[in-house]
Structure 1
Amino acid sequence: MPWIDYERREERVYAPGVTVAEIVADMVPVELLIAERVAVRVVVGGRLILQAEWETFRPEPGAVVIRVIPGNSGLLRSVLLLSATIAATALGQWYLTPALATAGISGLAANAIVAGATFAAMTGASFLVNALVPVRPSQKSSGAANSPTYAISGWSNPVSPNGAVPMILGRMRVSPPHGALPYRKVVNGENHGVSRYVIAYGPAPLEGPRIGSTPIDKYKEITLELREGYSSDAPITIYPTQVIEENVSVELTSGHAGQFGPDSRYSAAAASKIQVDHTFPGGLIAYSEQQSGESTVNSQGAWSIEFAVEARLETSDTWTTVGPWTIAGMQQRTLTATFEWTPPTRGRYEFRDARISTDWDRIDQSPYTWKIISVSNWTAIRTFRPEVPINFPYPLAQAALDIRATEQLNGQVDEFNVVVKSICPDWDSETQTWITRETRNPASLFRYVLQHPAFVRRVPDSKIDLERLQYWHERCAALGLTYDRYHDFVSSLTEILADIAAAGRAKPIRRAGKFSVAIDEPGKPVVAWIGPRNSSGFEQKQVFVKPPDAFRISFKDQTNNHEDAERMVPRPGLVCEPEEIEELSLPGVTNPEIVYREGLRRHYEIQYRRFEYSVTQSYEVLTAERLDRVQLSHDVLNAVQRQARVLTVDEEAGIVIIDETVTMEAAGSYVVIFRVTPDDESAPDDGLQRTVVTVAGETNALILEGDGALPEAGDLASFGPADEVVIDAVVKEIENGDGLQRHLTLVDYAPQIFELANSAVVPDWNGAVGDDIETAPDDDVAPTAPTIASVWSTAIAPQSGSSMLYVQLAYGAGGGTVDHFELDHRLQGAGSWTTETLGAGASAAVISTYASGDIVELRARAIGTGGTSAYSATTTHTVAATDPVPMHVTAFAVAQISATTWEYTFSLDAQPVGTGVRIKYRLGHYTTWAELTSSFGGVVTVSPYDSSTPTIVDGTEYSFGARAINSAGQESGDPIVIQVVVSAGGAPSLDFSDPANSQNQFLGW
């Protein structure tokens, strides 16, 4: 059975007076007829023209449809569908197959015959029954599910090796992917992050760079390069060549290196330069704390650590010494240093790294006056290559960033975002020309995608229906329809075109071999009349679907920097809170107002397109295409309806004789609509409607009321009751049938859908989820009085060194919303109050204006939008009376556990919060606390406690004492004093005259 390539057809226009034979000779050459043994069918006005009439039949203005049916052999395997238009706009379009183009057609329109990929797979699944413009599935189930833009909430720069190069359509704030792996570098001892991003195909204007929500210029020590993707762009200088960074996490110690050998790592291949990072997480510094009487003197100094660094080519056994590497520092915060080496030849190198200096942090430094912080980690090995990091044949919009990360960022920059805009040929209605400029119009972007370098087979202008796109552009502009989307995911051309078209209320089609669109809009002309005379298999069904209470639509809000947003669109007429809510996807729609209107339009489609009609037509009479408006009549819809053809017309009497018998009732009103050729080729084919004089009974003679235009013999006529003579419908879908049959699915035209959606009053949008309310339920109610939950005080506060009063408030039960609290306090008996204001979330205050022993009065109240509460009950408190009472030391012992270390153990009869033990000592035999002159620098809270203080001297007796102390500095009254005789030898002290220590210089203050 020959197949029909409905997606391709050819149109040609002929002057009035041409015969059918001349049309056939031009469109179907004789050699093809002979070689392929084809049969040709010609249809004019729905009537088959026999071959015997071709030489003499001259069609009137209108459509001539030609079918070329192939034989059983030869190159031609599909039915050829040709449409000739006589001095009027063609009522349909017909595709010409590639097979015909290869057959050597010549004639008036040979140059118009094209071949190309079919567009049959354009439409996607529809979530709304009878939606003419298909509704795209949720992004989660489409190609966009792999989009970092839609998969990640907030800003995040993905790393996508071999991923899609993004394409910007419209205007969006985006987090572009890394075009090269980010890396770190050290500048003046501080970490910097270096990144390079691929934003989109160029040209693409850029503006408003930010990190997260913060503008770039709010950061310090930052350099940004933006390139908009023009061939004249200067090269990127911040990140000009390839860098491969491998993170390492190895603590380097001389002890480990001495026992197991140096740690090693490999560079990447083809290295031309290699860097190694060492990080000191606690800083690199020497410090001392010395007691001078009752005070402590702190001193700091510089210190340096030495490493041995070696390298060898992967294929060599010979190691080359590329160090030593000495790192000096005097800071007690993270310090990173970089060692750089340029190898003699490019290749992959093994690096090994060992610490030579003493592991000061792993030994007991208590015998020494100076303490060293020097923990060192190998944190990165970095490979450089001279090649550019991005190898791409087309100009790209890019960004490169160098920013100080120390004390500004937590790790690498992964929240860089920028506004990017598309620039392409855009239709200018004033000048009636295409101008290259920034645009968000779906029609311009539709053309842009077809000719975009992202697609290998770019479509020339000659294969794009520019005239239709121009009309569509002006319609989109009038309705405010735009398409804004960042295509950073893999998607087919058909999916992208379908999404763009849907944003402009259209769907892609092929017309006369060109890429075009069918627009869902009011005011469409009628292009076909369908009834029993030219169709069969009529079916009508009502779609029983429970409409959702509301659509939930997720989108990128253009009014809020394209942040993720969600809008609920309730069903028109809904008077309760939505319960059944369905997700609706509107790719590329970012305007909150348009989002709402599109949601409304989908609701109205469900409401007004509940009926679906199906008919079957032969290709010999089919003239409609998808989304075309047609007139449908059938006696199944109404038993009185009839479709007939005009036999004769009595112009004087106004009587029309038809070839069908109709039935009228005496009380009925009837209308007949004739399908006539309009005088103006641009006029719609809505038909000629006349009122019929009611004559009860059966008749084929229709008496027309009043004066008016009359049909001609051969015209089609639709008869029926005045209110339902025909159904105004739209072709939803056309499917292949057996042989030359085509199955049409139609729905009601329902132009009120557009009027209602476009004229609706859209609620104000503020981006908040949920309905707005003018007043919260408790905003007009005063809050209840708070309570003073607890009061605590101390004679000596840790931070201020003076007394401190801490007051905790609690919310009262019930009442209105609390905005803030007021806490009043005064000395007992004083006349005036001092007021402290506390935020509703704080509800606690610290007061430092009273002395130990003062009696303080306290009260509080709550203030809200609905008024002020009463005061709480007044509470009194004695400052420092709540300090924990120091407990007694019940046991105390000191033992020598090594040649240099003491172990102190103690116990208390209780352990209040903030309590510890103060230990004092003195060389010699003493029995009272007052005789002990030396003490530890702080309070000991852990038992047992190991220390090298005091220095152990062989054969010496020491006296030790212990006493409990609380957080206010109050000591217990009964210390324990003991004596210990030393039996071990002393320990050496650090000698700074030793050459090994000569590199360390100290600064004391």
Structure 2
Amino acid sequence: MFEAVAQTHPLKTETKCITCHEGQTIVQILQQMDLPERFGPPVVSLIKDGRSADVPLAYWGSVRPKAGTRVEVYWPVEGPAFGAVLAAVISAAAPAIAGTVFATGTLGFALATAAITVVGGLIANALVAPATSGSVSGQADTNYSITGTQNAHTPYGVFPLVLGRHRMFPPKTARGFTEVVDGEIYFRGRYTFGWGPVSLEDLRIGSTPIWNFEGVQVEFLNVDKAETLANMPELADLVMQKTAEVKEISEALSEDGQTYEFGSDAAAGKVSVSIAVQSGEFDIRLRYREAGGAYIEGPLFSNVTADAVLEFPEFTDGLQREFQVKIVSAVSNETERVRVEDLQEDRAVPPLLRITKTDVQYQKGHEIGGWRSGSEVMTLYPDDVAEDNENAELVPETATARFTRDRVGSASIDITFPQGLAYITGSSSISMRRVEFDFRFRAVGTQDWTDAGDLVCEGEERTLVRFTKEIAFPKEGEYEVEITRTSASEDRNDVLETSYLSAVRSFRTGSLPSNPGISEVALRIRASEQLNGQIDSLSAIAQQLAPVWDGSSWSAPQPVRHPAWIYARGLMGPQLRRPVADSRINLAALKDWADSEPHWTCDYVIDAPQRVADVLDIICASGRARRALTDFRYSVIRDLADSPVRQVFTPRNSWGFSGQIAFPRDIHGFRVKVRSERLDWEFDEVTVYAPGYNATNATEFETLELPAVVISKDETDQGNAWKLGRYYQAVAEHRPETFKFYADWEHIKTTRGDKVQIVHDVPKVGVGAGRITCITEVVGGLVQSLVIDEDFGLPSEAYRLTIRTQTDEIIRVGANPDGRSWDSFSEPLNEGDIAVGDLVAIELMTQESLEMLITGIEPDGDESALITAVPASPVVLQADGGEIPTYAPVITERFDRYGPPLATVLQSVTGSAVAKIGRAGELEPRIGIDLVQRGYSREVKARVRWRRSNSQDWEIGRSRMATRTVFTGLLDDGVDYVVEVQTLDGDGRSRGYVPAGTIQARARDFDYVAPAGFAAFEGVDSVVLSGDEYSLADFKKFRFYGATDAADDLHRVGHSRDPHFSYRGVYTRFKVAAVDNGGDESPLTDWIAARPRGVAPDDLTAETFDAIRMEASNTAAALDDQLVLDKIAPLESAVQRDLEIRDVQNFHAAEALGVIGDKVAVGADQAV
């Protein structure tokens, strides 16, 4: 027995010790230790009698340590040590470790040693990071914080903005008020869904659809009618009719001939224009025309010097028209005194008027439903009304005073009898009770009262009843209103008469403004027995409408959820004080985003002041992108890890290379926090487990907030929450490093998000780099060899040259080294594509390139820049569709000068081309590996090993000469095998196995198919079946089957190597199969029907008789009379048998028989 000790972590001193038995291999010892695979292959050292030796990886399966040997397993701090570091979590002592283990200035010295959260690391280092909590103003922490859970009145707040599709509790644009009509209480309210246009779904109060209430009228402003009614057809009967359109404008006219034109959405009846004359005297002509026609002269208004309302003629013909206000004459009629230098002089004031309002009343029968647009006045809630609720008992002969709001023109006072108003005359009978009130008012700050009349309240009610007094004030202002109950109280139990002042409603002069870019809904609903107070739980799902760029123009606004078009709207929309012109937006990048990744959605509501940059971050994060300003245009950076390389950086064109590795704590998964439509738009958590974890063993989680991601009710696969969760898991696993380096002007070609290739000695990536000094041989325009300025002393192996040309093109080609010279290019290399001075990066052909994504470029003066990059790792883009593999860093080991060159696999093949032919001619499957010939000597051998893909047990083949193709042994057909190949020199030394791929062993290139082209040709007494040749290598013969018309039972009737077969017999339907050397049959053909057709009169032509005569003549010359007679009888018998096979009753056949007998007899006589 002996002891084996293993280091558990590359940067920790903790060890694992096990006892081993003599005879175990290194592989078995390592399997028993169960070391983490993510740290890569360790170093295995054997120590005995004071001496130590490292065991090469190629001999782990054959070296068996003896008793008394100590086995030590560890990871070095250079080379593969970085593979260990990449996924580790460093303790608080890491700075001290870094200072002692790594030399100052090395990549390892710059390791990030503090443990951080995974999500925090993503925010700090990822190319595309999730939205930070600061970007959403803390909203994600409060359930339903987006527009709240009720309708708030925030007069100094901002209009909300819906991004994509989201449920909203729209804020109030007016406080709302109640009114009494015919004894019924109605509520009027007005709400905004923010910047439009939008369409709506599921409009409801609380949890009840609005159309389930009685006495409802609704009116919309800048809400798409078609989309909304498609979602809620029940609204069609609730939307009030639009009978007019009144628009407040401010259009200045000051010169002769100036015009202002306007139209209407429906046939106009009465049309008027309000003007305000600020100076001058005008003659004004009103004109109108049918759409597309010539203008007709309307009324002329002369000598207009003051504000006026100008009316067009009234129309009743149902036609839609356009209208024009034209200045016929504009003259100044006043002067003003101005100072010119030291003198005073009078100057004429230029004439100026403004058109302030257009009022169009539709013709009867041409009204439009209540779907307002632009700045049209909303008629269900046109005025600014403020309602102050009161609860003051009105005692007889005691005055109660209340104040209105300022700037009011009228007010309404509500008096309520909560218990009812009546005389109780019996247990079930009541009679009318009458109560009277007096009202008076005065302007605030004055002493004199004005009588406002009285209010007589009569009722026979046992329940609440309310009465309203309307008061019109003489002018706009703030007023004190006094109410006095003049009817005495009877103070009896059988009288219901207790009265209260319940509300003071102030109506301010002027209409509520309608913002042309804001979507609103106004409603009037019967409150009696349906509502309790004002409506504060109105909600709907709002869908943003925005234009979409098709590559040449913008579409009309349409429902959008893709972040590309929401991003564009976030820059160009009316919500911005200074919208961005589309010429400053990279529209091609946005269209490519939407076209190539159409599954992304962005659903969010902005209801608080936000920086545009923060909003754009939220939008981009929902679609796995990042905002950017590229070439002075707004654009996005997407994770395009699988895109082409844009630039190559080596020590020849960069300097100051450093690296940093973040070590987040190990977690078992993300709790992805999103909103769910199924949960009524509340927060939901989608658990995304890390590889190897599930609900039974996961305990460590971090929360990943995706504020603009919503799982819609129709999604069954957790939607984009799952995709983004898996993506960020893969990013945390495969992009832990951050590299920084300086570059000169060559950085100009790149921008953030571009992919670059790195070959550098600091992180030990690639062989090296140089520049072309000479193109030594050119044949037919193709470069045969070139020379670079450095000799790396490389062994004869396969290498990949990446050439960055002077025109910034990237060329990759395989080549062989000979000192500084390179030749045997794997691809044609045109002489004109490269030049002396081009940069060349050199890598092993068998090793992946280190490709990185640029995350930052910081100018550093003198046209240089500091570039920050992370590993590209394209595997992160497929993380949502499969397992996330363990990260394997790209590290190039120092070259071992011993052993043969590594085998370079060109391809691995299987099928009939490499199958072995068995004794019976059958094909037996195996796999052939084509090797690139690298000038192997005769002593170099190749050896193949293979195993089933679901097994760890290898089968090893015999070592053979390293020819172009080497083979496995015989394999099982249809089974997947993992294949590797190694080269060995004359002393049996090897550099290890090289993967040759995972391949399914097949004996044939593809499965047999049914024979093709077979058809039947009917003869006199036989059938010939003929078809196409069968081209498969393992083909042996065709097999033919027959059946009768009465049954489908198949009977083998023969076989043929050629696709032709003649059959005589009773079967009339046939099928054909192909047979291989192993005896297996292909699928059968379809039925082929045929039967012999027998002898017909048309078969007996003159040529037939001539042939018979010739035959008879020849026979007569050689035979005697008896022999001739002996031949006639067999001929007749043959014909007779043929007729028996067919139909002996056939008249024509019988006639033919007689003719033959006669002709033969005559011929015989003539011959004799």
Relative to structure 1, the CA distance from residue 687 to residue 620 in structure 2 (aligned partners, 3 Å threshold; closer, same or farther) is: closer
Shift of residue 497, structure 1, vs aligned partner: 2.3
Following the alignment from structure 1 to structure 2, what is the Cα–Cα distance between the partners of residues 146 and 701?
62
Preserved contact between residue 669 and residue 689 of structure 2 (Cα < 8 Å): yes
Q: Provide the residue aligned with 2:829 in structure 1.
A: 709
Preserved contact between residue 128 and residue 625 of structure 2 (Cα < 8 Å): yes
Q: Of 410, 414, 418, which aligns to 2:536?
A: 414
Preserved contact between residue 266 and residue 351 of structure 1 (Cα < 8 Å): yes
1:795-874 equivalent positions in 2, closer than 5 A:
none
- The RMSD of aligned alpha carbons is 3.2
Q: Provide the residue aligned with 2:699 in structure 1.
A: 579
Give the secondary structure class of the aligned counterpart of 2:720.
helix
1:355-754 equivalent positions in 2, closer than 5 A:
355-360=485-490, 363=491, 365=492, 371-390=494-513, 392=515, 394-428=516-550, 434=555, 436-477=557-598, 480-558=599-677, 562-575=681-694, 576=696, 578-591=698-711, 592-619=718-745, 621-638=747-764, 641-651=767-777, 654-664=784-794, 670-676=799-805, 687-693=811-817, 699-704=819-824, 708-709=828-829, 711-724=834-847, 726-737=849-860, 740-754=863-877
Following the alignment from structure 2 to structure 1, what is the Cα–Cα distance between the partners of residues 686 and 208?
26
Q: Of 296, 300, 304, which aligns to 2:430?
A: 300
Shift of residue 615, structure 1, vs aligned partner: 0.8
Preserved contact between residue 620 and residue 626 of structure 2 (Cα < 8 Å): yes
Aligned partner letter, 1:687? I
1:975-986 equivalent positions in 2, closer than 5 A:
none
Residues 883-902 of structure 1 deviation map (CA, whole Å, 9 limit, x = unaligned): xxxxxxxxxxxxxxxxxxxx
Relative to structure 1, the CA distance from residue 182 to residue 551 in structure 2 (aligned partners, 3 Å threshold; closer, same or farther) is: farther
Preserved contact between residue 803 and residue 839 of structure 2 (Cα < 8 Å): yes
Relative to structure 1, the CA distance from residue 577 to residue 400 in structure 2 (aligned partners, 3 Å threshold; closer, same or farther) is: farther
Select between 451-460 and 545-554 the one with higher mean Cα deviation: 545-554
Shift of residue 504, structure 1, vs aligned partner: 2.5
Give the secondary structure class of the aligned counterpart of 1:687.
strand
Aligned partner letter, 1:130? N
Residues 443-493 of structure 1 deviation map (CA, whole Å, 9 limit, x = unaligned): 22222222212112222232222222222221232xx11222232222222
Give the secondary structure class of the aligned counterpart of 1:589.
strand
Following the alignment from structure 2 to structure 1, what is the Cα–Cα distance between the partners of residues 848 and 202?
60
Shift of residue 148, structure 1, vs aligned partner: 10
Residue 215 (structure 2) pairs with residue 221 (structure 1) = yes
Preserved contact between residue 130 and residue 606 of structure 1 (Cα < 8 Å): no
Aligned partner letter, 1:276? I
Shift of residue 243, structure 1, vs aligned partner: 0.2
Relative to structure 1, the CA distance from residue 323 to residue 638 in structure 2 (aligned partners, 3 Å threshold; closer, same or farther) is: same
Aligned partner letter, 1:440? R
Aligned partner letter, 2:386? I
Preserved contact between residue 175 and residue 416 of structure 1 (Cα < 8 Å): yes
Residues 895-921 of structure 1 deviation map (CA, whole Å, 9 limit, x = unaligned): xxxxxxxxxxxxxxxxxxxxxxxxxxx
Which structure 1 residue ranges, 5 or more long, are not aligned? Answer: 1-123, 290-296, 762-1005
Give the secondary structure class of the aligned counterpart of 2:408.
coil
Select between 742-751 and 510-519 the one with higher mean Cα deviation: 510-519
Q: Of 431, 440, 445, which aligns to 1:315?
A: 445
1:57-456 equivalent positions in 2, closer than 5 A:
127-138=122-133, 142-143=136-137, 145=139, 150-151=144-145, 155-228=149-222, 231=373, 235-254=377-396, 258=398, 262-288=399-425, 297-360=427-490, 363=491, 365=492, 371-390=494-513, 392=515, 394-428=516-550, 434=555, 436-456=557-577
Give the secondary structure class of the aligned counterpart of 1:606.
helix
Aligned partner letter, 1:582? E
Preserved contact between residue 642 and residue 718 of structure 1 (Cα < 8 Å): yes
Preserved contact between residue 149 and residue 175 of structure 1 (Cα < 8 Å): no
Residues 52-83 of structure 1 deviation map (CA, whole Å, 9 limit, x = unaligned): xxxxxxxxxxxxxxxxxxxxxxxxxxxxxxxx
State the identity %: 27
Q: Provide the residue aligned with 1:86 in structure 2.
A: none
Aligned partner letter, 2:433? W
Following the alignment from structure 1 to structure 2, what is the Cα–Cα distance between the partners of residues 388 and 577?
65
Residues 520-573 of structure 1 deviation map (CA, whole Å, 9 limit, x = unaligned): 124312111112111111112222012543333333435666454443333343
Runs of 4 or more, structure 1, over 6 Å off, are 146-149
Select between 746-755 and 394-403 the one with higher mean Cα deviation: 394-403
Aligned partner letter, 2:740? S
Q: Provide the residue aligned with 2:903 in structure 1.
A: none
Shift of residue 159, structure 1, vs aligned partner: 1.3
Preserved contact between residue 241 and residue 389 of structure 1 (Cα < 8 Å): yes
Preserved contact between residue 535 and residue 616 of structure 1 (Cα < 8 Å): yes
Preserved contact between residue 552 and residue 567 of structure 1 (Cα < 8 Å): yes
Residues 261-291 of structure 1 deviation map (CA, whole Å, 9 limit, x = unaligned): x2211101121111111222222233256xx
Shift of residue 703, structure 1, vs aligned partner: 4.9
Following the alignment from structure 2 to structure 1, what is the Cα–Cα distance between the partners of residues 810 and 489?
96
Q: Which has the larger radius of gyration?
A: 2
Following the alignment from structure 1 to structure 2, what is the Cα–Cα distance between the partners of residues 194 and 435?
33
Select between 171-180 and 643-652 the one with higher mean Cα deviation: 643-652
Q: How many residues are matched?
A: 604
Shift of residue 166, structure 1, vs aligned partner: 2.3
Following the alignment from structure 2 to structure 1, what is the Cα–Cα distance between the partners of residues 535 and 455?
30
Following the alignment from structure 2 to structure 1, what is the Cα–Cα distance between the partners of residues 668 and 526?
52
Give the secondary structure class of the aligned counterpart of 1:596.
helix
Following the alignment from structure 2 to structure 1, what is the Cα–Cα distance between the partners of residues 704 and 730?
14
Preserved contact between residue 222 and residue 404 of structure 1 (Cα < 8 Å): yes
1:942-961 equivalent positions in 2, closer than 5 A:
none
Residues 807-838 of structure 1 deviation map (CA, whole Å, 9 limit, x = unaligned): xxxxxxxxxxxxxxxxxxxxxxxxxxxxxxxx
Following the alignment from structure 1 to structure 2, what is the Cα–Cα distance between the partners of residues 251 and 569?
62
Which structure 2 residue ranges, 5 or more long, are not aligned? Answer: 1-118, 224-371, 712-717, 885-1168
Relative to structure 1, the CA distance from residue 586 to residue 354 in structure 2 (aligned partners, 3 Å threshold; closer, same or farther) is: same
Relative to structure 1, the CA distance from residue 233 to residue 476 in structure 2 (aligned partners, 3 Å threshold; closer, same or farther) is: farther
Q: Provide the residue aligned with 1:767 in structure 2.
A: none
Following the alignment from structure 1 to structure 2, what is the Cα–Cα distance between the partners of residues 641 and 725?
12
Following the alignment from structure 2 to structure 1, what is the Cα–Cα distance between the partners of residues 437 and 221?
42
Following the alignment from structure 1 to structure 2, what is the Cα–Cα distance between the partners of residues 717 and 497?
40
Following the alignment from structure 1 to structure 2, what is the Cα–Cα distance between the partners of residues 142 and 619?
38
Following the alignment from structure 2 to structure 1, what is the Cα–Cα distance between the partners of residues 743 and 843?
22
Give the secondary structure class of the aligned counterpart of 2:503.
strand
Following the alignment from structure 1 to structure 2, what is the Cα–Cα distance between the partners of residues 270 and 443?
47
Give the secondary structure class of the aligned counterpart of 1:664.
coil
Shift of residue 144, structure 1, vs aligned partner: 6.7
Residues 346-400 of structure 1 deviation map (CA, whole Å, 9 limit, x = unaligned): 211101223333445xx5x4xxxx61233322121110023122353x3422101
Relative to structure 1, the CA distance from residue 142 to residue 485 in structure 2 (aligned partners, 3 Å threshold; closer, same or farther) is: closer
Aligned partner letter, 2:191? Y
Aligned partner letter, 1:748? P
Following the alignment from structure 1 to structure 2, what is the Cα–Cα distance between the partners of residues 606 and 125?
10
Preserved contact between residue 671 and residue 725 of structure 1 (Cα < 8 Å): no
Shift of residue 170, structure 1, vs aligned partner: 2.1
Give the secondary structure class of the aligned counterpart of 1:584.
strand
Aligned partner letter, 2:197? P
